Structure 1
């Protein structure tokens, strides 16, 4: 099983740190799970222009291939102006819905106010619904106050939620995989 963490921003480090922390928790408890971090800061994605996703080239094609190859996801975004980041929205627009249909997603977000956690409920979960993805019931919102000056997460409650999210996505993915295998033996 391959878990892909996506840090959906081209600036800052906090979102990537939180996504990486979830990946580390998964690896600690499930060493058989392959993990990979897709940090959008390292890629130059083209803007979505409505064409078939298979026609993109360069970094855009590389990123879409990485996403398609994963079995499940941890998706992170900073919250800007009460919404997900533009680069993450563009990435969602680039993805062929068939490539992530019926895959498990877990969400993390970072932001400067405590109210921005609602973006996960009101924007990210509906996007997952459009893709017909399975969404982990828990998620992690990390406020700037939860980091120290070295960008380390210092809030124990946040660390506990990160651990819980890691367990949830693996549990859901294993259950889904088991159900699919049972279905294949029946057919």
Structure 2
């Protein structure tokens, strides 16, 4: 099983740090799960212009191929102006819905106010619904106050939620994989 963590921003480090923390927790508790971090800061992704996703080239094609190859996801975004980041929205616009249909997604977000966690409920979960993905019921929201000066997460409750989300997405993915295997065996 391959878990892809997506840091959906091209500036700052906090979102990537939180996504990486979840991936590390998965690796610690489930060493058999392959994890990879896709940090949008490392790619020059083109703006979605309405063409078929298979017609993109360069970094855009590479990113779309990485997304397609994963079995499940941890997707993170900073919250800007009460919404998800533009680069993550652009990535969602580029993804062929078939590529993440029926796959598990866990969400993390970072922001400057304590109320911005609502973006996960009001914007990210409905986007996952459009893709017909399975959304982990838990999520992690990290406020700027939860980091120290070295951008390390210092809040014990946040660290507990990170561990819980890591366990939750693996549990959901294993259950989904098991049910798919039973379906194939029964229906041949």
Is TM more than 0.5 here?
yes
TM-score (norm 1): 1.00
Which structure 2 residues correspond to residues 152-171 of structure 1 after superposition, within 5 A?
152-171=152-171
2:13 aligns with: 13
1:91 aligns with: 91
Counterpart CA distance in 1 for 2:51 and 2:168 is: 35
Counterpart CA distance in 1 for 2:26 and 2:114 is: 26
User: Does 2:71 match 1:35?
Assistant: no
Which structure 2 residues correspond to residues 26-105 of structure 1 after superposition, within 5 A?
26-105=26-105
What displacement does 1:128 show? 0.1
Counterpart CA distance in 2 for 1:110 and 1:100 is: 23
Aligned residues: 187
Secondary structure of 2:138 counterpart: coil
Which structure 2 residues correspond to residues 130-141 of structure 1 after superposition, within 5 A?
130-141=130-141
Counterpart CA distance in 1 for 2:101 and 2:170 is: 17
Indicate the RMSD between aligned Cα atoms, in angstroms.
Answer: 0.2
TM-score (norm 2): 0.99
Counterpart CA distance in 2 for 1:170 and 1:140 is: 15
Unpaired segments of 5 or more residues in structure 1?
A: none
Unpaired segments of 5 or more residues in structure 2?
A: none
Counterpart CA distance in 1 for 2:111 and 2:68 is: 28
What displacement does 1:14 show? 0.1
What CA deviation, in whole Å up to 9, does each residue of 1:133-171 have, x standing for no partner? Answer: 000000000000000000000000000000000000000
4+ long deviations beyond 3 Å: none
